Amino acid sequence: EAYLGAIEAGNGALNAYITVTADAAREMANAADAAIAADDIRPLTGIPLGVKDLFCTKGVRSTAGSHILGAFAPTYESTVTENLWRDGAVLLGKTNLDEFAMGSSNETSHFGNAVNPWRRADGKPLVPGGSSGGSAAAVAGGLCVAATGTDTGGSIRQPAAFTGTVGIKPTYGRCSRWGIVAFASSLDQAGPMTRTVRDAAIMLGSMAGHDPKDSTSADRPVPDFAAAVGRGVKGLTVGIPKEYRVDGMAPEIEALWQQGIDWLKDAGAKVVEVSLPHTKYALPAYYIVAPAEASSNLARYDGVRYGLRAAEQGDGIVEMYERTRAAGFGREVKRRIMIGTYVLSAGYYDAYYLKAQKIRTLIKRDFEQAFDVCDVLLTPATPSAAFASGEITDPVTMYLNDVFTVTVNLAGLPGIAVPAGRDGQGLPLGLQLIGRPFDEETLFAAGQAVE
């Protein structure tokens, strides 16, 4: 009831939720009370969560932030949310996001911008980051205990950094993608967004696990992540990738990074410089691979199988497709479909898509070599603090926000963003830790040391 009250009071300003499920929340909370009375207490019993509106929830509208799915209520539940309910969690509602998770500011949502609860001196509304901006705003604004996010190129970690919250993108395959609206299937992963590293560890423990319904989900045991929190960093070697020291890096980001290095050293870690030589190709490669996969995944929205249908009397099937997709998708989504279709076309495939895939392999190898000499990498999470709504209008400038995060998705590695400092205006700044495949435990241990 406290959280439903907070949503009632705060969602008008933050626009963090697209749909509030008050009835379901009360029902699930009652079930949690009954479970507690019966001594059946699970890791998340009674914990009220926000769920990014990219996860399909049975019988509850699941929009992906798009007009085309604006009235879509799935007949099935995503595996990750099913796992959360199995462990006792309570659904408060579905959180706002960039349309189909394409964006870094939550400004491409069909349902309006989500707003960052933090303010700088000029008082202008700030973006909460994206694409999981509604989840980040809800966690930071106290409109839920924690929320789910998804991360294709930074969509958990960047909004976490912009709102002073914790977000982890697990190793590719750690969480099932079944029932999550697909953006770029080889990059997408679900993860928790929380107030503390410990909460993230507990929640990931519930979300993760093998799922026969997702052939890319990893058939390996889920460790006790929460046990790794508090393990400390003694004996760990932390790598500092020199290529992340990009030209024109803001002095406050540089200072934050140094602060993180000092904290880890003081806590007993060894710090070494490492090189990831292909880093500069990551962003261009990502913005080829992600739209390519998106153009293919979004072909299913045709006015027949899901959601919106826009057709007029006498239309043939082609006109119906065209009208539906023209009316149903926003500008950024259309841009991605066009880029993706272009780079996959005969004659351009070798020059763009195949080249990007080769770069992806080189980036993965860079990390493998770095992990020969260190256990975890430390970088800034974002190149700046949260910016104002409407401040970035050029898509390529917007894409630059992902410069520190996309490498992790291209290589399939786990990465965590942890709030670690403030900028000159008092806005939160985050550090990122990147780990070996399936070594989220080290991220939780080291994350707590910089939190």
3-state secondary structure of 282: helix
Q: Which of 152, 295, 407, 448 binds ligand GLN (CB under 6 A)?
A: 152
Strands of the sheet with 17-20, listed across from one edge: 17-20, 90-95, 48-52, 146-151, 189-194, 166-169, 415-422, 428-435, 376-380, 237-241, 270-274
Closer of 272 and 338 to ligand GLN (Cβ): 338
CB 353 within 8 A of CB 391: no
CB of 268 to ligand GLN, least distance (A): 33
Across 252-375, the runs of DSSP E, i.e. the strands, are 270-274
440 binds ligand GLN (CB under 6 A): no
Q: Is the peptide bond before 217 cis (omega within 30 degrees of 0)?
A: no
Across 305-447, the runs of DSSP E, i.e. the strands, are 376-380, 415-422, 428-435
Tell which residue, 432, 424, 450, 419, has the closest CA to residue 163: 419
CB of 410 to ligand GLN, least distance (A): 12
CB 254 within 8 A of CB 441: no
Would you please indicate which residues are annotated as catalytic (active-site) residues? 52, 131, 155
Position with the least CB separation from ligand GLN: 155
CB of 227 to ligand GLN, least distance (A): 29
- Going by the DSSP 8-state scheme, the letter that residue 88 receives in this structure is T
CB 92 within 8 A of CB 19: no
Q: Which of 182, 290, 392, 418 binds ligand GLN (CB under 6 A)?
A: 290
Q: Which stretch binds ligand GLN (CB under 6 A): 71-79, 153-161, 194-202, 242-250?
A: 153-161
Q: Which of 151, 199, 214, 293 binds ligand GLN (CB under 6 A)?
A: 151
Other CB atoms closer than 10 Å to residue 247's CB: what's the count?
4
CB of 337 to ligand GLN, least distance (A): 13
Q: Which of 133, 141, 154, 173 binds ligand GLN (CB under 6 A)?
A: 154
293 binds ligand GLN (CB under 6 A): no
Closer of 152 and 165 to ligand GLN (Cβ): 152
183 binds ligand GLN (CB under 6 A): yes
Closer of 98 and 440 to ligand GLN (Cβ): 98
Give, as ranges, the residues between 64 and 123 that touch ligand GLN (CB under 6 A): 101-104
Q: Which residues bind ligand GLN (CB under 6 A)?
A: 101-104, 131, 151-155, 183, 290, 402
